[in-house]
């Protein structure tokens, strides 16, 4: 659709906003030049749009009732069958609703995307189908994936599968719950701050945030290209390794995939941990919101690896305690830009841009008034900081993330893996709306201190269940060297067998 030519009054107002005072005072000449330049946008349609992602027609689907889906794990249920054979043959796959599946509705937890149906599959969906999986639906996630709880999705809260009225963790909330209820065999999650690992911890499943770029992010709603990750969620470590085997590798599109190294995740899975050096990261314990019982269970699970021949010792990385602040400086401004200005997508990369999704977000931008409290807060802070200091803080934080990365790398020269609690506590009660915005916001971020650092240093991190506290799962996080997921799986398998 052609861009409407501007009036002098529109150009005067725009010039004044930018600070071009002379044009604001006399806009007529520039109005004419701008009107002439708009023809270049009409010429875009003369270029064929390359079909780089797989598509399909509309898929028959249902919205499950509360009786059919009492935890609200699912946005829609469907059946898209993959290849007749393959490494995932017979697997019922749930797909987080921030991930494009052609022909199925996608709302990414929001009001803005209600009614949107993508015309293409994300690369990870194409790979899973080619390996024999059957997509059985889209799982519920938090509003624009911006919460670590499970209370902000526009369609309602997601209940913990072990205790109704408690959070299942987020933002890949439904992807975790569907595994516990048995409605899916494997699920896909996305992780910008811990959104695979936090629900894995609180719901009691296995979740991997792979090394940055190992699994292509093509065709997935983004928050910021610096820390976008997508990965497998499963009931067992072996299933996780099998799923990663299918997902890993370059797709030739995603610019995040630079110098990646795909490993063999299955052959050495049962090789054990004899001789491996396990570092218990001291700064990952006893912080804000920590439960002593969680710390004790995680330490006991790590110490038990001695009996299997591992070398277990404490290690200190003092910068770990400051890392969430560094993540926040990147995330706040990056997410504000993505959500408020960029139609749900980042710019400046030779990426695949889902134009249909971006158009839908632009057409429904008035729904911003209905953003939940945490989204409103994060985007307001981001825009305020931008007004005060521009992008300097984002830039400084990205630069200093290299210092943080080097600190973990130094520890990982002494140890094969590092261990922390995934979340410093077990699942919390869902916030009471009557308690206001502060309670809702706190319930979105209180669990993320140990997960956010590795989104900005890009190390792989695996959450595995390691026990229960008062009937709720406890998650143990294993962090490794870049592209060393095979070792994470070995350690995770040993934890699983304790």
The answer to whether residues 414 and 138 touch, using CB atoms and an 8 Å cutoff, is no
Q: What percent of the chain has pLDDT over 70?
A: 100
- The alpha carbon of 149 is separated from its chain's Cα centroid by a whole number of angstroms, namely 13
Instruction: State the pLDDT confidence band at 257, using cuts at 50, 70 and 90.
Output: very high
Q: Is residue 3 part of a domain?
A: no
| Residues 49, 52, 57, 58, Cα dihedral to 10° | -100
Structure tokens that stand for 206 in this block: 């296995």
Phi-psi region of 348 (alpha: psi -120 to 50; beta: other; left: phi over 0): left
Query: Percentage of the chain surpassing pLDDT 90?
Result: 86
Residue 338 pLDDT: 84
Residues 491 and 440 reside in one and the same domain: yes
Question: Mean pLDDT throughout 369-398?
Answer: 91
Q: Is 96 a catalytic residue?
A: yes
Distance CA 203, CA 211 (A): 23
Q: Are residues 327 and 222 in the same domain?
A: yes
The predicted model gives 465-480 an average pLDDT of: 98
pLDDT in tens, 105-132: 999 999 999 999 999 999 999 999 999 9
What are the tokens at 273? Answer: 């941990």
**267 domain residue, yes or no:** yes
| Residues 26 and 170 occupy one common structural domain | no
Burial of 60 (0-12, 13-18, 19+ CB in 10 A): exposed
Count CB neighbours of 411 within 10 A. Answer: 17
Q: Give the pLDDT confidence score for residue 1 in this predicted structure.
A: 64
pLDDT of residue 102: 98
Residues 37 and 76 in one domain: no
Distance CA 471, CA 10 (A): 61
Where does the pLDDT of residue 85 fall: very low under 50, low under 70, confident under 90, or very high at 90 and above?
very high
Domain that holds residue 29: 8-46
Are 197 and 449 in contact by the 8 Å Cβ rule? The answer is: no
In terms of domains, do 21 and 144 share one?
A: no
Token pair 């000449």 is at which residue?
Answer: 29
Tokens of 373: 């409290």
Tell me the pLDDT of the chain averaged across its residues.
95
Q: What phi and psi, each to the nearest 5 degrees, are found at residue 461?
A: -145, 130
Q: For residue 55, tell me if it sits in a domain.
A: no
Tell me the C-alpha distance between 261 and 257, whole Å: 10
What is the spatial distance between Cα 7 and Cα 328, in angstroms, rounded to a whole number?
A: 41
Separation CA 152–CA 443 (nearest Å): 10
Q: How many C-beta atoms surround the C-beta of residue 130 within 10 A? A: 15
Q: CB under 8 Å to 325, separation ≥6 — which residues? A: none
Q: Which residue has the higher pLDDT, 152 or 38?
A: 152
Looking at the fold, whether 76 and 29 belong to one and the same domain comes out as: no
What CATH number is associated with residue 123?
A: 3.90.1300.10
364 pLDDT tier (thresholds 50, 70, 90): very high
Quick one: pLDDT band at residue 249, thresholds 50, 70, 90? very high
The predicted model gives 266-276 an average pLDDT of 97
Q: Are residues 12 and 153 in the same domain?
A: no
Q: Given the residues 150, 168, 173, 195, select the one marked as catalytic.
A: 195
CA distances for 317 relative to 101, 320, 399, angstroms: 41, 6, 19
- Total Cβ atoms within 10 A of residue 141: 33
pTM of the model: 0.95
pLDDT of residue 436: 93
pLDDT greater than 80 at residue 21: yes
pLDDT(39) > 70: yes
Given 147, 150, 171, 173, which residue is catalytic?
171
Q: Count how many domains the chain has.
A: 2
Nearest to 189 by CA among 154, 228, 242, 239: 228
> Is there a domain that residue 290 lies in?
yes
- Answer yes or no: do 372 and 291 share one domain: yes
Range from 44-58, 235-249, 345-359 that averages highest in pLDDT: 235-249
C-alpha span between 209 and 98 (Å, rounded): 16
Q: What is the mean pLDDT of residues 77-99?
A: 98
Task: Specify if 54 maps to a domain.
Answer: no
Q: Is the pLDDT of residue 348 over 80?
A: no
Helix (H, G, I), strand (E, B), or coil: what is residue 226?
Answer: coil
**Closest alpha carbon to 192 in 399, 479, 375, 455:** 455
Is residue 206 located within the same domain as residue 303? yes
Whether residues 14 and 147 share a domain: the answer is no
User: What pLDDT is stored for residue 231 in this prediction?
Assistant: 98
Q: State both tokens at 243.
A: 């799923």
Query: For residue 171, is the peptide bond before it cis, meaning its omega torsion is within 30 degrees of 0?
Result: yes
Could you tell me if residue 56 is inside a domain? Answer: no
346 pLDDT more than 80: no
How many whole angstroms separate alpha carbon 271 and alpha carbon 69?
A: 39
Contacts of 494 (CB under 8 A, 6+ apart): 272, 273, 305, 308, 310
Decide: 450 and 423 in contact? Cβ < 8 Å. yes
Whether 176 and 169 have beta carbons less than 8 Å apart is answered as: yes
Better-scored residue on pLDDT, 39 or 451: 451
- Residue 29 shares a structural domain with residue 175: no
Q: pLDDT grade, residue 145 (50/70/90)?
A: very high
Hey, CA dihedral for 454, 459, 463, 464, is it positive or negative?
negative
CA dist 303 and 468 (Å) reads: 17
Active site residue 195: yes
Instruction: Assess whether 20 and 146 both reside in one domain.
Output: no
Per-residue pLDDT tens for 202-228?
999 999 999 999 999 999 999 999 999
Note the pLDDT of residue 386: 86
182 CB-near residues (< 8 Å, 6+ apart) = none
Residue with tokens 């609703």: 97
Domain membership flag for residue 282 = yes
In a domain, 249, yes or no: yes
pLDDT at residue 347 above 80? no
Q: What is the mean pLDDT of residues 177-184?
A: 98
Nearest 10 degrees: CA dihedral of 273, 278, 284, 286?
Answer: 90
Evaluate if residue 380 carries a pLDDT over 70. Answer: yes
Secondary structure of residue 77 in the 3-state scheme: strand
């Amino acid at each position: 659709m052609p861009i409407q030519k501007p009036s002098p009054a529109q150009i005067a107002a725009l010039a004044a906003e930018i600070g071009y005072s002379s044009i604001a005072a006399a806009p007529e000449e520039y109005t004419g030049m701008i009107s002439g330049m708009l023809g270049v946008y009409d010429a875009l349609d003369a270029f064929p749009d390359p079909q780089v992602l797989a598509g399909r027609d509309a898929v028959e689907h249902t919205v499950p009732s509360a009786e059919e889906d009492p935890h609200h794990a699912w946005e829609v249920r469907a059946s898209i069958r993959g290849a007749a054979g393959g490494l995932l043959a017979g697997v019922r796959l749930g797909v987080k609703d921030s991930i494009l599946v052609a022909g199925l509705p996608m709302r990414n937890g929001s009001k803005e995307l209600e009614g949107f149906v993508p015309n293409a599959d994300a690369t990870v969906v194409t790979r899973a189908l080619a390996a024999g999986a059957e997509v059985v639906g889209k799982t519920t996630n938090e509003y624009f994936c911006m919460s670590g709880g499970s209370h902000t999705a526009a369609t309602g809260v997601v209940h913990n599968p072990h205790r109704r009225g408690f959070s299942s963790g987020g933002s890949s909330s439904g992807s975790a719950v569907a595994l516990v209820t048995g409605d899916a065999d494997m699920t896909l999650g996305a992780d910008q701050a811990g959104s695979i690992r936090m629900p894995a911890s609180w719901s009691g499943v296995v979740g991997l945030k792979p090394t940055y770029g190992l699994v292509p992010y093509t065709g997935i709603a983004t928050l910021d290209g610096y820390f976008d990750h997508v990965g497998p969620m499963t009931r067992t470590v072996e299933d996780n390794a099998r799923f990663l085997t299918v997902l890993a590798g370059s797709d030739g599109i995603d610019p995040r995939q630079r110098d990646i190294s795909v490993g063999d995740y299955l052959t050495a899975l049962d090789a054990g941990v004899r001789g491996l050096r396990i570092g218990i990261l001291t700064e990952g314990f006893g912080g804000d919101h920590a439960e002593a019982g969680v710390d004790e269970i995680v330490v006991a699970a790590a110490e038990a690896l001695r009996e299997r021949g591992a070398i277990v010792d404490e290690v200190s990385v003092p910068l770990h305690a400051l890392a969430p602040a560094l993540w926040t400086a990147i995330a706040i401004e990056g997410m504000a830009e993505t959500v408020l200005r960029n139609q749900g997508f980042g710019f400046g990369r030779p990426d695949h841009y889902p134009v249909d999704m971006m158009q839908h977000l632009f057409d429904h931008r008035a729904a911003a008034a209905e953003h939940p409290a945490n989204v409103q807060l994060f985007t307001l802070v981001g825009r305020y900081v931008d007004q005060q200091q521009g992008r300097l803080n984002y830039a400084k934080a990205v630069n200093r993330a290299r210092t943080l990365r080097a600190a973990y790398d130094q520890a990982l020269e002494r140890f094969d893996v590092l261990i922390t609690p995934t979340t410093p506590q077990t699942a919390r009660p869902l916030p009471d709306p009557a308690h206001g915005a502060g309670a809702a916001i706190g319930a979105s971020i209180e669990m993320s201190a140990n997960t956010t650092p590795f989104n900005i240093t890009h190390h792989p991190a695996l959450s595995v269940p390691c026990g229960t506290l008062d009937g709720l799962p406890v998650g143990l996080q294993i962090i490794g060297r870049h592209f060393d997921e095979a070792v994470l799986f070995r350690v995770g398998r040993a934890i699983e067998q304790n």
